[in-house]
Each structure stands twice: as C-alpha cells, then as structure tokens.
Structure 1
Amino acid sequence: MNHSSVRSQRRAALWSGIALVLMALVAFFAQGYVYQSLVIESEAMTTYENLVSHSTLFRFGIIGWGIIVVLDLIVAYGLYRFFKPIHTTFALLIGTLRFIYSFILAFAVLRLVEAERLLDTSTSARQVYETVTSFETIWSLGLIVFGLHLIAVGWVAMRTHFIPRTIGILLVVAGFSYTIVHALYQFPTLESMTTLLELTLMLPMFVGGLAFAVWLIVKGRILPTHDITRQSAGDASPAS
C-alpha cells in the first residue's frame, strides 16, 4: 500500500471515530433525554400532553436524530474505507450493513416528523402516541441489522495485527447482544424477558462501540504502516 492510501485509511479511521463519539453524545440528548422524558409507555394522553407542552424540545430531539442519521452515513463510508485495504469483501459488507441500518433509522425518524405534524391537527392523542412510538418499532428492526454490522466489524478486527483483540471481542459480543435483544423484541409476549436481557447486556453493548470509537481516534490516525501493508491483499483471508 502506498503512503497516499495509508493517509486515506488514517483519515477514514479518525473521522469515523469522531462521528461515533458525536453520535453517542447526540443520542444521549435525543433518546436519553428528549424521547425518554416525553414519551411515556402505555400513557397516550400523558405523552400527547408532554409533546404539546414541550413541542420545541420535541423538535430539537427530531433534529438530533437527523444529525445521527448523517453521522451514521459518515461512519458507514468511513469504516468501508478503513477496512477495504484489510479485506475488501468484508469492508463492503460492513459498509453495506451500516448503510441499511442508517436508512431504516431515517425511515423511523420520519415517524417522529409525522407525529410532530399531527400535533398541529385535530388528531387524537392515541393516534399521535401510536405514530411516535412506531419510531421505536422501526428502529428496533434496524438495530438487528446494526448488530450484524458490529459482528462483521469485530470479526475482521480480531484478525488484524494492529487492532487490539479485546476490542474485536467486545464488538462481536455487542453485535450478538443487539441482534438477539431486538430480534426478541419482535415477539411482544417476550417483552418482559427481553427488557431484562437488554439491561443485562447493556454494558457490553455500550462499551464495545465506545472502545472502538476511542481507538479509531487515538490510534487509528497513527496506524503502523508495515502492519497495514501486510494485510492489504484485498480479499485474502485476514491474518489470525
């Protein structure tokens, strides 16, 4: 690999890491603060009243989700560029799965936009509630794909010479956690058990992605050239 390609890969690592960290911060606001405080489970009227009385906050939350979608697309392309010199086929798989997840998330965010529009009409509280909570239903489907994306990232990461094997393992565990939890969420009768499972797996789900993001920022921009070159054989099997 020439030095220009190495610099390109380092830039992809840096920008992907920055986008991942920004995404986590924006998600803390949009989901952790805005959505969780305004949307009350099984309380259609309370949720409706919250959305009406805090409509500006709700709009900012929607804007936050829009920013997250854009950052996700940046990560999709950045990780594709980062892993391409290591394993072209898996790089394409990683990028494609992240793109698919991003488009599903974008569709889910449109349900929030629709709910915000309904607040200015005579629509019933129940319909507004069902519209806004359909965001979670669609997003949950997307998180199944997101989990598969993390598994692919972790699998390749574990087979490089320069990404710590621990990070690869954490990514695979996080990926399986996302996929299993949100696959189970598609069965309403298992919701109580699934919620408990999600709480149990929340730490590895969070730590895996964050550790990789920090590594991309701190170490990805100074990747050892000789290790990258050693693994730039396209579709050849990654080193174990």
Structure 2
Amino acid sequence: MAIVLYYYVKYNTMKAMAKASGIAYLLIFISGFYANFAILENLVDLDNSEQTTLNIINDSIQFRHGLIAFFIMLISDVFLIWSLFKITEPTQKIVPYIASLFRGLHASFFIIALTKLFEVYKITSRSINSEELQNSVIYLLSNFDKLWTIGLLFFGAHLVMLGFLAFKSNYIPKFIGVLLVLAALGYFIDGFSKLFLPSYHEYQSYFQAIVVFTGVIGELSFTIWLLVKGFSQKTFNVWYL
C-alpha cells in the first residue's frame, strides 16, 4: 500500500509538472511569435536606421507591448529550466543537468539582449530624432539580434540534449526526441548562417522558414504531449516509472 501511495504521489506531481511545463511552452509560442513577428518584423529594418527609428518613436506603445511579450517569454523559459529538469531527471543522471545548463545559457544571453531593447525604448522615448539617435538605435538592435542568435545556438544544444533524454526515456515518445533534435538543427542552420554567412540577408526568409517549420514541429509536438499528460483525467499511471 505504501509503495502504491508513493508512486501515486510521484505520478501526480509529475502530472502537475507536465501541465505547468506545457502551459509555459504555450506562452513562449504565443508571446514569442507576437513579439518577434507581429512587432519587431513590422517596426525594425536594420538596413534603414531612419525608418526604423521613426517606426519605434511613432509606435512606442506597440514596441512596449513587444517588450512585455518578450519578458513573458523569458519568465516562461526560466521556469522551464527547472520543470523540464524535473521531468527528465529520472532518465539520466548527468544529461538533465547539461540540458538545463544550455537552456540557462540561452536565457542568460536573452536577458542581456533584452536590455538592449529596453535601452532602445528608453532613448527613443526621451530623445529628438537625429542621426546620432538613429545610429544608436540600429547599434542596439543589432546587438540584440546578435546576442539572441548566440543564445538560440545554446538553445539548440539544449534541444539536442532534451531530444536525447526523450529518446532514452520510457515515458516520452521516441518520435518526439527525434523531432526535438530536428528543431535543434533548424536553430543551428539559421544561427550559424546569420553569424558567419555574408549573404545571409539574401536568403533570410528561407532560413527563418526552416527555423519556424522545424521548431513548430518539434517543440509544439513536445508541448502537446506535456499538455495531454498534464491534463489527463487518469488518476494513476506508471508513465513515470
């Protein structure tokens, strides 16, 4: 009876962890797509400092909404460092720590990157439009882009570790592990191309399509699995064992 109770408590704890992780991942999808594609893509053109600065000044409220969405994404990401560690901890002794480390490095780079966006918001709110302001805005936005790109490479490494853990576990479907590694490859292809390929901007839409396609397939599949497990009405199951 004691053993049954022990596993019942452990299972329901993991159910709660899966539910919270699924919700956090869903928030990342929603806030990330909104901030990046609905806000930044519409306001920012790194090749046109004057228009970009004017866009941000004229749509400062929209830019602020993007900052708030990025902050929600960051908080959700930091939570997942802990929750995914708890979910994958039974699989391996060392790899969950490595996976958490890589996701932590990604979050660290994103925190630093976000400070650049806050600085853009601050200087465009209090300064008169000028060539000096435009140069500062583009410099800060370029730094944000580069820092986030480096962070996403660490995130790709996290997905490789997470995919390995999923593949090795006896409770996460193995195909999700494969899809997570595929998502990691998308981040690697886009990230390294952006940092080292001189003609990246000529093919940017293709690289972004690769990231979106592989990321949605891999991470969304994992998100759905987490939500299904978390919101399952079953009272006891041995999926954690």
Q: How does the TM-score come out when normalised to structure 2?
A: 0.87
Map 1:62-141; keep pairs closer than 5 Å: 62-119=67-124, 120-122=126-128, 123-141=132-150
Question: Larger deviation: 88-97 or 112-121?
Answer: 88-97
Which amino acid in the other structure matches residue 127 of structure 2?
A: T
What is the match of residue 220 of structure 2? 210
Question: 2-side partners of 1:201 and 1:185: how far apart?
Answer: 12
Instruction: Describe the superposition over 1:191-221 as per-residue Cα deviations: whole angstroms up to 9, x where unpaired.
Output: 1476334434531222100110011011255
| Residues 157 and 168, structure 1, Cα contact 8 Å, conserved in 2 | yes
Aligned-pair CA distance for 1:190: 4.3
Task: Give the counterpart of 2:66 among 61, 67, 81.
Answer: 61
What is the match of residue 147 of structure 1? 156
**Cα RMSD, aligned residues only:** 2.0
Question: 2-side partners of 1:154 and 1:88: how far apart?
Answer: 15
What is the match of residue 237 of structure 1? none
What is the match of residue 232 of structure 1? none
| Residues 110 and 148, structure 2, Cα contact 8 Å, conserved in 1 | yes
| Residues 25 and 223, structure 2, Cα contact 8 Å, conserved in 1 | yes
How many residue pairs align between the two structures? 229
Task: Give the counterpart of 1:19 among 21, 24, 40.
Answer: 24
1:45 matches 2:50: yes
Aligned-pair CA distance for 1:102: 0.9
The alignment partner of 1:158 has SS state of helix
Residues 175 and 217 of structure 1: is their aligned pair in 2 closer, same or farther, counting only changes over 3 Å? same
1:171 matches 2:180: yes
Question: 1-side partners of 2:207 and 2:28: how far apart?
Answer: 24
Which amino acid in the other structure matches residue 183 of structure 1?
A: F
Instruction: Describe the superposition over 1:149-173 as per-residue Cα deviations: whole angstroms up to 9, x where unpaired.
Output: 1111111111223322221111011
Aligned-pair CA distance for 1:7: 2.2
Question: 1-side partners of 2:197 and 2:178: how far apart?
Answer: 30
Aligned-pair CA distance for 1:226: 3.0
Question: 2-side partners of 1:152 and 1:4: how far apart?
Answer: 27
Which amino acid in the other structure matches residue 91 of structure 1?
A: P
Which amino acid in the other structure matches residue 215 of structure 1?
A: W
What is the match of residue 238 of structure 1? none
Aligned-pair CA distance for 1:25: 0.6
| Residues 27 and 72, structure 2, Cα contact 8 Å, conserved in 1 | no
Instruction: Describe the superposition over 1:126-164 as per-residue Cα deviations: whole angstroms up to 9, x where unpaired.
Output: 211221232111100000000001111111111223322
Residues 41 and 83 of structure 1: is their aligned pair in 2 closer, same or farther, counting only changes over 3 Å? same
Gaps of 5+ in 1: 230-240
| Residues 30 and 65, structure 1, Cα contact 8 Å, conserved in 2 | yes
Question: Larger deviation: 17-26 or 199-208?
Answer: 199-208
Q: How does the TM-score come out when normalised to structure 1?
A: 0.88
Question: 1-side partners of 2:46 and 2:140: how far apart?
Answer: 13
| Residues 14 and 240, structure 2, Cα contact 8 Å, conserved in 1 | no
| Residues 84 and 91, structure 1, Cα contact 8 Å, conserved in 2 | yes
Residues 205 and 182 of structure 1: is their aligned pair in 2 closer, same or farther, counting only changes over 3 Å? same
